[in-house]
């Protein structure tokens, strides 16, 4: 699988191949589930919940839930208050502007790595992901749009073949997903999807400069949208 190898010059170089995909741990399962509950606002900002309530909801024990909450705390999704419970934090627009500053050069690095290292199969996966994103954007289907965008981002990071980058981007993408689920208007879906398509088209042609130009246009748009969010209420 694309994201399972550690390479320095591409999938055909003498890199180290990791073991096949392992089953997800209970902690990872809990993390994914609680993250999605927060992003989709099933757990709304300001909500106070307990480890026990979450464990019962997810049919999981306290230990994996506690480990998941510790990870979510590190990315600012929750605050843990002993003897009181777990507080879901509010979405911070200013922090998201700072996050965009960090993400832009990292996304550029992802693109450079993909152009250099991705296999033809990797490229085909990216093209399929972007096709589904465009379809969801055209239909203004909010749930499918965000699922498709997540799939594209994960496929891009996997095709970069850089484990350190993968870990860093996973955290940043989670924070971005939460912000955009709250604030991205459906009217912007097609513009964002088309910019993602332009990036993937540049990658598919192994044209680094064209793909990077797409990254620049995308992040300019994301910055504008974030600043506009300062003047309006959450959309969901």
Query: What confidence tens digit (pLDDT) does each residue in 115-144 have?
Result: 999 999 999 999 999 999 999 999 999 999
% of the chain residues with pLDDT over 90:
85
pLDDT band at 180 (very low <50, low <70, confident <90, very high): very high
Q: Would you say residue 194 has pLDDT above 50?
A: yes
Q: Would you say residue 11 has pLDDT above 50?
A: no
pLDDT band at 197 (very low <50, low <70, confident <90, very high): very high
* pLDDT value at residue 83: 84
Choice between 191 and 17, residue whose per-residue pLDDT is larger: 191
CB 118 within 8 A of CB 159: yes
pLDDT band at 230 (very low <50, low <70, confident <90, very high): confident
Q: Identify the CA nearest to 137 among candidates 194, 65, 59, 210.
A: 194
- The Cβ of residue 236 has, within 10 Å, a number of other Cβ atoms equal to 10
What does the buried/exposed string (b/e) look like for 71-104 if buried means 16 or more CB atoms within 10 Å of the residue's CB? bbeeebbbeeeeeebbebbebebeebbebbeebb
Min mean pLDDT across 12-21, 41-50, 90-99, 209-218 is at 12-21
Q: The pTM is what?
A: 0.84
Rg (CA), the chain: 18
Cα 99 to Cα 12, 96, 128, distances in angstroms: 34, 5, 28
- The Cβ of residue 160 has, within 10 Å, a number of other Cβ atoms equal to 25
Q: Cβ contacts of residue 24 below 8 Å, gap of 6+? A: 32
Query: What confidence tens digit (pLDDT) does each residue in 156-173 have?
Result: 999 999 999 999 999 999
pLDDT band at 12 (very low <50, low <70, confident <90, very high): very low
Helices (H), 18-83: 26-39, 51-58, 62-74
Min mean pLDDT across 12-21, 60-69, 96-105, 130-139 is at 12-21
* pLDDT value at residue 3: 37
pLDDT band at 234 (very low <50, low <70, confident <90, very high): low
| Ordered domains of the chain (ranges, CATH) | 26-88 (1.10.10.10), 93-229 (1.20.120.530)
* pLDDT value at residue 21: 55
Q: Would you say residue 6 has pLDDT above 90?
A: no
Expressed in angstroms, the distance from the first to the final Cα of the chain is: 35
Task: Please give the DSSP secondary-structure letter assigned to residue 76.
Answer: T
Helix (H) or strand (E) run with residue 103 in it: helix 93-117
Q: What residue ranges in the chain does DSSP mark as E strands?
A: 5-6, 16-17, 48-49, 78-81, 85-88
3-state secondary structure of 205: coil
């Amino acid at each position: 699988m694309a994201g399972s190898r550690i390479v320095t010059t591409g999938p055909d170089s003498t890199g180290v191949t990791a073991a096949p995909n392992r089953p997800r741990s209970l902690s990872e399962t809990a993390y994914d589930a609680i993250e999605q509950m927060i992003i989709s606002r099933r757990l709304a900002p300001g909500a106070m919940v307990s480890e026990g309530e979450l464990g019962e909801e997810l049919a999981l024990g306290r230990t994996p839930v506690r480990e998941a909450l510790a990870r979510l705390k590190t990315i600012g999704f929750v605050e843990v208050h002993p003897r009181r419970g777990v507080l879901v934090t509010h979405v911070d627009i200013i922090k998201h502007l700072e996050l965009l500053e960090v993400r832009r050069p990292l996304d550029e690095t992802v693109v450079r790595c993909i152009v250099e290292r991705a296999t033809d199969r990797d490229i085909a996966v990216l093209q399929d992901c972007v096709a589904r994103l465009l379809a969801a954007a055209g239909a203004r289907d909010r749930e499918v749009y965000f699922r498709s965008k997540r799939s594209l981002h994960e496929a891009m990071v996997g095709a970069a073949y850089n484990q350190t980058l993968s870990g860093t981007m996973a955290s940043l993408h989670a924070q971005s997903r939460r912000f955009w689920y709250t604030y991205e208007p459906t009217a912007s879906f097609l513009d964002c999807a088309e910019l993602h398509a332009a990036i993937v088209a540049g990658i598919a042609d192994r044209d680094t400069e064209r793909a990077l130009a797409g990254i620049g246009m995308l992040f300019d748009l994301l910055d504008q949208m974030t600043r506009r969010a300062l003047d309006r209420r959450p959309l969901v």
